[in-house]
Structure 1
Amino acid sequence: MSLTRNQMEATAEEHRAHLDATGLTYADVLADLEWDSRRLAATLGGNDSTDPVDAWELRDYLVAAVRDRGVHVEPYSVLTDANKQRATQWFDLRAAPRHDFG
């Protein structure tokens, strides 16, 4: 499953909207996902070097964080639950950690 340029841009915007809604900092995300800043920037930027597995992991992490914060954000338009089922056929997706808002 590869994304078009428009789909990558939409996904990047949706990642950023979800991140903004959570109130999490980049440092929070980096610590929770155990990523470096280059990897997070590439995934948030939705560029051609983005690892699809990272995009899904970030999506799952942010969806859970939005839910845990009790805020509403428009759902992902490309990284949908149905597309996640398809993505599991091509990629070895990782379970995303959850942020402790406690």
Structure 2
Amino acid sequence: MSLTEEQKRRTRKELHANRERCLLDDQTLCAALGFTPRQLADTLDVNAGSAPGDVWLVRDFLEQAITDLGGSPLPFTVLTDRDRQQSQIWFGVRRVPPTPGKAQLQGD
């Protein structure tokens, strides 16, 4: 499951747009995902340094975090829910870590 250059461009744009909507800072994102700052940057940019499974993980984490923290994520046009099953066959199933700060916001 390889993305064309146009699909990479669109995915990069959508990841960055959702990154801007996410209330968590990069340090918190890296800690939650187990990423280095370089790995996060490469993944958001969907460049040669990114792994496809990481791109899906960041996509899913951003969607979850934005929603958990009271926002509305922008839709993805390339990495769609319909394509999830195929991606899981190719790259494996990865558990999305919980959103940091969610419990505090909910009063738990």
Q: TM-score, normalised by structure 1?
A: 0.91
The size of the alignment, in residue pairs, is 102
Unaligned runs of 5+ in 2: none
Deviations 1:64-91 (A, max 9, x none): 0111122223211111111111111211
Q: Percent identity at matched positions?
A: 35
Q: TM-score, normalised by structure 2?
A: 0.87
Extract structure 1 runs of 4+ deviating beyond 3 A: none
Structure 2 CA distance for aligned equivalents of residues 27 and 60 of structure 1 = 18
Unaligned runs of 5+ in 1: none
Q: CA deviation at 1:93?
A: 3.0
Contact 1:56 1:79 in 2 (8 A): yes
Structure 2 residue 44 is matched with structure 1 residue 44: yes
- Written as runs of structure 1 = structure 2, the 5 A alignment for 1:85-96 is 85-96=85-96
Deviations 1:36-70 (A, max 9, x none): 11111110111133100000110110010111122
Question: RMSD of the TM alignment (CA)?
Answer: 1.2
Larger RCO: Structure 1 or Structure 2 (Cα < 8 Å, ≥ 6 residues apart)? Answer: 1
Code of the residue aligned with 2:43 in structure 1: it is T
